[in-house]
Chains A and B, each alone.
Chain A
Amino acid sequence: MAKLTRRGLLAATGWVAGGATVLYIVRDRAIAVAPTIIFPDKESGAAWLQIRPDGSCRMFFSRQDMGQNANTGLAQIVAEELNIDVDDIEGVLPNTGEVPPLAVTAASMSLTAFSRPTAIAAATLRESMRERAAANLSESLSAILDDAGGFRTADDRRVSYADLLEESSVMVEFDESKPLPALYTYDSAREKKQVGHAAKPLGIRELVTGEPVYATDVHMPGMLYGRAIQPPVRNARIASLDTSGVAGIEGVVELVLEGDFVGVVCNIPSAVDAAMAQIKVTWKLEQPITQNEIDRLVDVDAEMTEGDLEHLLVDEAHNKDVDWAIDLRFDVQVQSHAQQEPRAAIARFNEAGAHHKLEIWTGTQDPWAIKRSASRDTGLSEDGVVVYPQRMGGGFGGREYYEVERDAVRLARAVKRPVKVQWMRKDEFTASRSRPASAHRLRIATDNQGNLSDWWHGYVSGYVTLARERLPGWLLPVMRFGEDSGVVKGAMSPYSAPHQRVEYKDVDLPIDLGVWRSLNGAPAIFAIESAMDELAVQQGLDPVDFKIAQMKGAQPRLQNCLERVRKMSSKRPLSSGAGYGRGFACGIYDGRCFIAVSADVHIDEATQQIKVEHMCCAQDVGMAVNPDQLRSQVESNMAWSVGMALLEKFEVADNDIQSSNFDNYRIPRMTDMPRLDIEIIDQPEIPPAGAGEVAIVAGPPAIANAIRQATGFRALRLPISFADIV
C-alpha cells in the first residue's frame, strides 16, 4: 500500500476518473494503541470524498456499520460543508485494498475522532471549488457566495459544482501550512441545514426489504459449508479427540485437523451440523472454568486484606482507619454481547497470478486487523489478502478479532474451494470475549456537615483490553505493567472528597474476556452510584440533591443532566401503591460523555416480577450531529440497562460454558422494555462526544436505586431477581 502514491492509489480504485477528489490524512497525531488504531493517524486514512463531473458527491465511509449509523452522521457533516443534501451523497464502504488502513470502529469514538477530519476534507474541497467559481465568473474570491450545490454572486449569477468540473480529474490535498478553511459544522452561530437535524440511517430501505447486506448473505459459485470446534477458552488444548463418527456422515468433503484446530467442510449445511455432532473433544485447561473460580479470582476483600492493590489511580491524603458511613461490596456479573447475528465469514483462495491470493467477506469492527491476522496465519503477504467488510448484525465490542474468519480461511485452504462458515448461536456464546466479572469495595465517610470526607474504592476485575489472547503473547506481559484502558473506565468518581483512594487489580479469568459495551464503565458506575444513593438515603437526604451538592460545582454538565432528568421524571407521577419506587443515577463515560437516568420500578408480588415501567434520560452529547440517531443509541442503552440490572448472566460450570442460546441467556424482550423519555442536550460549540456506550453506565444503578426506594433492598449483586428482594 505504501508503495502507491496517493494519487496512484485513488486512480487504482477508480476514484480520480473525473471530477475533484479530496483526500485528507491526519499528520502528526499518532495516538496509536497496539495493535489497532483508535484515532486516525498519519498512517491511516481519515476522509476521502469526491464531487463528480455531474455534481454528485461520493464518499468513502470510514466507519464499520453495526447499528450505530455513524457514517450517516459523517455524511451529514459533508453535506453541511458542501451545501448539499445528505441524500445526495453516495457512500462507498471500502475494502482493505482500496484505502490505507482505517481505525477500528470502537469505543464510541466514531464521531469524536472522525467529525473534524471529515469536515476539514469537505471544507477543503468546497474552497477549492470556490476558487474555480471565482475564475469561472471572473470575480474575486470574496464575491463568491455559497449556494445549494454550488455558488452564486450577490447579483444572483449561479454556478453549480457540475458546472465547475470537467471529465478530467483534479486531486485536492489539504495543505497543513495554510490556515484551516471555515468549518461550518463547528460554527455554532451558523443556522445549519444538515448537522443537528434528524437524518434517516443511510441504507435503511435495504434493511426493511431484506436485501443481502450481511456476511452470511454472500454466496458464490462452488461454495462449500464448514465449521470448526470452538474451545471453551482460547488457551485450552485438546486432551482427547474422537472424529471416528464423521466418516459415516453423507456430504462431508473433508475433516480438517491442524493442531488444536478441528473443522469440517461439507457440501450442504445440514451435513455440517451432523458431522460436528460426531466430533468428541475433551480439553486440557489452565484454570477450572467454574463460578467458584471466577468468584475467588475477583474477591476484592481478600485482595484488599493482603494490602494495596496493584494499580493506584488516585491517592490523595488517604486515611485507612476511618469511621465509614458506607462500607459495601458490589459484585457485577459476566455478560456476553449476544448480538442478533451469529458471526459468519466466507474465504476464497485464488489461483497464482491473481492480485489477491485470499479474499475474505466478513462483518468486523476492524477489517485491517483481520487482513494482518490472515496474512500471519497463512504466510501470504498483506497485499495478497483483501477483506470485504459487510454490515454487522450488531457488534457491541465483540467483533474485533480474527476468529470466524480464521475458521473460514483454514477450511477454504484445506479444500481449495470457497467456504462459508456460519457460527451457530452456541458457537457465538462459547467464543464470546465477555465482559469480565468484577467486585468493588466502596467506602465513604462524611464530615460533621454530612459532606464527603473520605472515599475509598478498591476493585478487582478481569482484564478487558489487555485480556489474554487479545494481544500477541510477547506483548501482553509488557503492556500489563501499564493500565488496562478498559478496566479503568468509570473508576473516577465525579464527587469531591478531600481524602481519596481509588485502586484496582486486574486478573486473568478462566474464560475469554474483552470489550463489551462501556467496558468497566457500567460496572464501576453501578457501584459508585449505588453507594452514593445509599449514603443519601441513610442520611435522610434526597439522592439527587445530595449528589449535586457533593459535585461541589465541579461537574456542571453532569449536574445539568441530573437536574433535567429530575424535571422530566417529575412530570410522570409515580404510583403510590406498594412496591413502586423511583431511582436516579448519573455518570461520565470516558471523561467526555455525560448522562443521567431515572427509573421507575414496580415490584409486583402477584407476578413475582421486577418491572421497569419508565425511564427518563438526559444525555449531554456535545454537538448533536443527528439527534434522532443519538436517541436511538440511548434507547438501546436503556434496553441493555434492563438486561444488565435484571436479566443477563453468562453461566459457566463443569469446566464449560453453559450459556448457549436465548433460552438460557435471557436478553430483554419487548415486554421487558420501559416507556422512555429522552432528552438530548445539544451543545453545538462542543465537539461531538459519542453515544454508543454511554447511557448504560447510569441505567443499571438507577434501576437498583429505584428498587431500594420501593422495598428497602439494596442490590449488591447483579442481576437482581425478585427472589433476592423477598
Chain B
Amino acid sequence: MNLYVNGTARQVEPAWRNETLLTVLREHLGLTGSRFSCGIGQCGACVVHIDGKPVTSCLIPVSAVANKDILTIEGLASEDGTLHPLQQAWIDESVPQCGYCQSGQIMQALALLNETSNPDDAEIDRAMSGNLCRCGTYDRIRKSIKKAAVALSEAANLSEEAQ
C-alpha cells in the first residue's frame, strides 16, 4: 500500500495498515510535524491536506487514503528551504509560544487561503475556530493569515505580469 506524501510515494508496511493516518505519518514514516493532541478531531493539531482538503489525521484510518495526495507541514516550504508565505508570516509576527498546535494552524490557514484569497476577520474566525491554541496566540494567527494573504496575492500578480 502506498501513500503519496508531499509529492513522494511512501510504502506502508503491512503491520501499520490498521493505524490512523496520523500514527503512520509520525511513527512509521518519521514525519512528526503533524501533532497528536486530542485524538477525537476536536483540536486541529494534526491537520493535513488530503487531495487539497484539510482533515484531522487522527481520525482517518490510513487504509482510507491509499493512493491519495497528502500534504503535511513538512511539505510546505520549497526544497531550497524558502518558507511558504504563511510560515514566513508566522515568523514575522512571532506567533508560536509553545508551538505545539502551530503545524495544524498553518495547514488549516492554508486551506482557508486556497479557498478565500483575502479573508476578513469573520471568515478567519470561522475557518480557524476548530484549531485550539492553549497559549492563546489567536490574535497573532489572525494577523499572520492576513499578511500571508497579501504576500500570496502579490506573488500571484507578479507571476501574471511576468506572463
CA distance A208 to B100 in the complex (A): 10
The contact of A636 among B30, B40, B135, by CB within 8 Å, is B135
List CB contacts (< 8 Å) of B5-41 with chain A: 15-16, 18-20, 23, 26-27, 30-40
Given the interface pairs A269-B27, A342-B37, A393-B100, the reply to whether A67 lies near B135 with Cβ below 8 Å is: yes
- Which residues of A sit under 8 angstroms from B129, Cβ to Cβ? 669-671
Given A394-B98, A629-B94 in contact, is the A640-B40 Cβ separation under 8 Å?
Answer: no
Quick one: which of B19, B39, B96, B142 contacts A208, CB cutoff 8 A?
A: B96
Minimum distance in angstroms from B45 CB to a CB of chain A? 6
CA distance A225 to B15 in the complex (A): 14
Query: Given contacts A208-B91, A208-B106, A209-B87, is CB(A339)–CB(B98) below 8 Å?
Result: yes
Decide if A154 is an interface residue (CB 8 Å cutoff): no
What residues of chain A lie closer than 8 Å to B136, measured between beta carbons? 635-640, 668, 673
Contact: A212 with B98, CB < 8 Å? no
Given the interface pairs A340-B133, A669-B132, the reply to whether A208 lies near B97 with Cβ below 8 Å is no
Whether the Cβ atoms of A69 and B32 lie closer than 8 Å is no
Does the CB pair A201–B96 fall under 8 Å?
yes
What residues of A have a CB within 8 angstroms of the CB of B73 in the complex? 209-210
Q: Which of A339, A422, A629, A670 contacts B134 (CB 8 A)?
A: A339
Q: Is A155 an interface residue (CB 8 A)?
A: no
Query: Chain A interface mostly helix, strand, loop or mixed?
Result: loop
Kindly list chain A residues whose C-beta atoms are within 8 Å of the C-beta of B140. Answer: 632, 635
Q: How far is the CB of B116 from chain A (nearest CB, A)?
A: 16
Q: Which residues of A contact B30 (CB under 8 A)?
A: 219
| Among candidates B35, B40, B90, residue contacting A661 with C-beta atoms closer than 8 Å | B40
How far does the alpha carbon of A629 sit from the alpha carbon of B135 in the complex, in Å? Answer: 12
Complex interface: chain A residues within 8 A of B31 (CB): 210
Interface residues on B, range: 35 or more
Residue of A nearest to B141 (CB): A670
Q: What size tier do the contact residues of chain A reach?
A: 35 or more
> Which of B16, B76, B87, B139: most chain A CB closer than 10 A?
B139
| Minimum Cβ distance to chain A for residue B8 (Å) | 16
Cβ contacts under 8 Å, A694 to chain B: none
Within 8 A of A (CB), among B27-83: 27, 30-40, 42-43, 45, 72-74, 76-77, 83
Minimum CB distance partner of B16 in chain A: A268
Interfacial chain B residues near A639, Cβ < 8 Å: 133, 135-136, 138
Contact B42 A341 (CB under 8 A): no
A408 to chain B, nearest CB (A): 15
Residues on the A chain within 8 Å of B137, using CB: 632, 635-636
Q: A213-B99, A269-B23, A670-B131 are in contact. Are A340 and B94 (CB under 8 A)?
A: no
By a CB distance below 8 angstroms, the chain A residues around B39 are 424-425, 661
Roughly how many angstroms separate A638 CA and B124 CA in the complex, as a whole number? 20
B128 within 8 A of A: yes
Contact B98 A67 (CB under 8 A): yes
Neighbour of A212 across the interface among B32, B38, B77, B101, CB < 8 A: B32
Find the B residue at minimum CB distance from A199: B94
Q: B37 and A208: CB pair below 8 A? A: no
Q: Is A667 an interface residue (CB 8 A)?
A: yes
Any chain B CB within 8 A of the CB of A34? no
Asked whether A663 lies within 8 Å of B40 as measured between CB atoms, the reply is: yes
* Residues of A bordering B, CB below 8 Å: 66-69, 198, 200-201, 204-205, 207-214, 216-217, 219, 225, 267-270, 338-342, 391-396, 422, 424-425, 628-629, 632, 635-640, 661-663, 667-671, 673, 675-676
A–B Cβ pairs within 8 angstroms, 13 of them: A67-B98, A207-B96, A209-B74, A210-B31, A270-B18, A270-B19, A341-B35, A394-B100, A636-B97, A640-B136, A668-B138, A673-B136, A673-B138
